[in-house]
Structure 1
Amino acid sequence: MAAAIPPASVSVTMTDSPLFTQPPLSQTLEDLACAYWSSDTLFAAIKLNIFGNLGDETLAVAELGQLCHCHPAELTRLLTALARLNLILEETDGWRNLPEAARHLIPERPEYLGDFLLYRRYLQPTWHTLTQTISSVPLSPALSRDDDYPTRNRHYVQALDQLARLKAQEIVAKLNHIPWHGPILDLGGGAGALSRALTQTHRQQAVAATLFELPEVLAAAQALYPASDAWMDIAPLPGEFLSHSFADHDRFGLIVLSNFLHIYNATNAKLCLSKAVTLLRPSGHLLIHDYCPDRGAIKGPLYDLNMLINTPNGQCHKACDLATWLADNGLTEARIIDLASDSTLIIARRPS
């Protein structure tokens, strides 16, 4: 895939790329849990006949979209994931099949495997019965789409907090090399895992954090962590960020947007960044943690497809775009750090 380069006015430092670092066991487990994201991406491409329509040519998205009867913007997100799966390649003038995909995924080719692979998809539903097939007692699912919203929200907060606690350890370790100061504004911080980790590491400095979240998420978080000491130095603040009015004196030394911007499309994500910068103190740091489709791990483009099908407007944003948007708001020096797991940090400092 062609590399995306930020404009010359943006100073980007690439550091800590973990290309040869063994991922933690927790990452291996998550990769197993999300393995179907890759297979469903492949199945969708076969069903849409992307490989067949590309053939031996290089086609622009608009032309390929017409042949496949696909929406260009959504198709681009699928093509990005297919490229990271090493099935196709993005050139300057469009997309083309890589040799193995052309060999096995173009219909009418002697070694075509599309029908075989789609038969594997046909078997998927029966695999969902594996637990009950093995169990000697009836088992109900932990969560169902038929459950009411409070139940689903409680499971959502608890599930994401389990991963966030592990990610927080990685993030805090990277921040140890940066002279950041509080107070902290943790935007969309879920149950507060990162706020908790940051305040605990700076307890001697009495750094305080504001955990900004939707009211129902904060309610679930406080039910998950009922003990008062779990909220030491953390003040929950309910609201929706774009519409919330902060007090004139509300300014922060560290603003964290961890897995927050991918809730929004590009237009609203830019608005969020612009608003966050206005809340940043001079010399303050802004930290973005997210899944970026243009970085090393395959999870970036796959998570983007997850947002496409599971949210109204969610979208994972390229790290180079985020760096450009930061520069547009006066934060011209961005440090990009790929974690040993599957996500990326972008750290920028507001001029004094």
Structure 2
Amino acid sequence: MHESEWTSGRLLEMSGGYWGACALHAGVKLELFSRLGAGTATAESLVATTGFDRRGLSELLRALCALGLLELRAGAFANTPFARAHLDQQAPAYLGHILLHHHHLMSGWSRLHEAVQNGKPVRPAAATTDDAKQRESFLLGMFNLAMNLAPQLVPRIDLSGRRRLLDLGGGPGTYAAHFCLANPDLQGVVYDLPTTRPFAEKTLARFALAGRVTFVEGDYLIDEIPGTYDVVWLSHILHGEGLEGCRTIIAKAVRALQPGGMIIVQDFILDDDGCGPLFPALFSLNMVVNTEAGRSYREGELKGLLAAAGVGSLRRIHHDLPGHTGLIAGTVP
């Protein structure tokens, strides 16, 4: 946003914008959209079934109407079609897990000034936290995001002739699954922490890929990566590390590649002046809050890291899909 576009009204609207996010998160956390499902319910009937406070629940339901997520029909509340499709737990396109992950991040963001002052994260990273519920929201949130993007993104990446894919730090394995679905001759390995295994196995079972995609436990910063591959997929793991961590990850990925192998990085990529796009710039602050050294990287930085590890034929794969992600690919000799 350019300075000339700012007004005092817009500034105040942005400053209080978290009110709407908190109302949304409360609706998801209290399972209001799932309780309504395809039906309707009055505030009184929801109070009776949930035991929630009458005033609080009534005001939340009306705020969700004001946000356009619920509708009031003859005194009863109902999901809008959008909420029914994305906020009801029974919906295939449910996004509640990533919204709950955002909810868990909010307390840390309120302490951003502390992280800026002392250079230390104010909360543990979601991927490694001891809080099982927060870790579940994070991993299933990654599944939510990938399920929205992967079916559109994967067909745009040519893996013809490739036989073994490594999804490094692949979490629930959503991308590995979609790459294998799109490439019948491809087999995959999801490499991630042991706590991730149950989520990945559910994903692979969902797509009937348990025989073609396997899960290997390990820490990519500490352990060597077993096996050799002709394509390595690094999706949203570099931003969690500083430059040294990125060098370690990329070096291990390159060592795992066969001659002529391809490496693909997906991440929130900044312009080379570091001042945009907006989402990668804000996401970099999310890493300040949540990690020791992570940040968003500029396109030139990522290409430089890959080139220093021996990756050539570097190119940006442009796309116009939602999600604020960028792709950089290259091959090893």
Could you say what secondary structure the match of 1:195 adopts?
helix
Q: 1:224 to 1:174 in 2, by over 3 A?
A: closer
Q: Confirm or deny that 1:267 pairs with 2:247.
A: no
- Post-superposition Cα deviations, 1:179-217, rounded to whole Å, max 9, x if no partner, equal 4512111011121111111111222x2x21110011112
**Does structure 1 conserve the Cα–Cα contact (< 8 Å) formed by 2:177 and 2:207?**
no
- Post-superposition Cα deviations, 1:232-290, rounded to whole Å, max 9, x if no partner, equal 3111011110211234xx21100010111111112211221112111111011001011
Q: Percent identity?
A: 22
| Structure 1: runs of 5+ lacking an equivalent | 1-84, 88-98, 105-112
One of 132, 144, 152 as aligned partner of 1:150: 132
* Residue 227 of structure 1, CA deviation: 5.1
One of 272, 281, 295 as aligned partner of 1:301: 281
Could you say what secondary structure the match of 2:150 adopts?
helix
CA distance in 1, matches of 2:161, 2:264: 10
Q: 1:242 to 1:345 in 2, by over 3 A?
A: same
**Does structure 1 conserve the Cα–Cα contact (< 8 Å) formed by 2:160 and 2:183?**
no
CA distance in 2, matches of 1:259, 1:217: 15
1:255 aligns with 232
Could you say what secondary structure the match of 1:231 adopts?
coil
One of 306, 312, 318 as aligned partner of 2:298: 318
Could you say what secondary structure the match of 1:211 adopts?
strand
Q: 1:339 to 1:306 in 2, by over 3 A?
A: farther
Amino acid at match of 1:181: R
**Does structure 1 conserve the Cα–Cα contact (< 8 Å) formed by 2:155 and 2:182?**
no
One of 158, 165, 168 as aligned partner of 1:184: 165
1:246 aligns with 225
* Residue 225 of structure 1, CA deviation: 5.5
Q: 1:154 to 1:117 in 2, by over 3 A?
A: same
**Does structure 1 conserve the Cα–Cα contact (< 8 Å) formed by 2:313 and 2:330?**
yes
Could you say what secondary structure the match of 1:168 adopts?
helix
Q: Confirm or deny that 1:277 pairs with 2:254.
A: yes
Q: Confirm or deny that 1:117 pairs with 2:11.
A: yes
CA distance in 2, matches of 1:202, 1:124: 42
**Does structure 2 conserve the Cα–Cα contact (< 8 Å) formed by 1:294 and 1:300?**
no
TM-score, structure 2 as length reference: 0.62
* Residue 127 of structure 1, CA deviation: 7.1
Q: Confirm or deny that 1:210 pairs with 2:189.
A: yes
| Structure 2: runs of 5+ lacking an equivalent | 33-41, 47-51, 61-95, 108-128
1:175 aligns with 157
1:193 aligns with 174
Could you say what secondary structure the match of 1:232 adopts?
coil
2:116 aligns with none
Runs of 4+ more than 4 Å apart: 122-127, 129-132, 139-148, 223-228
CA distance in 1, matches of 2:17, 2:147: 35
Q: 1:224 to 1:120 in 2, by over 3 A?
A: same
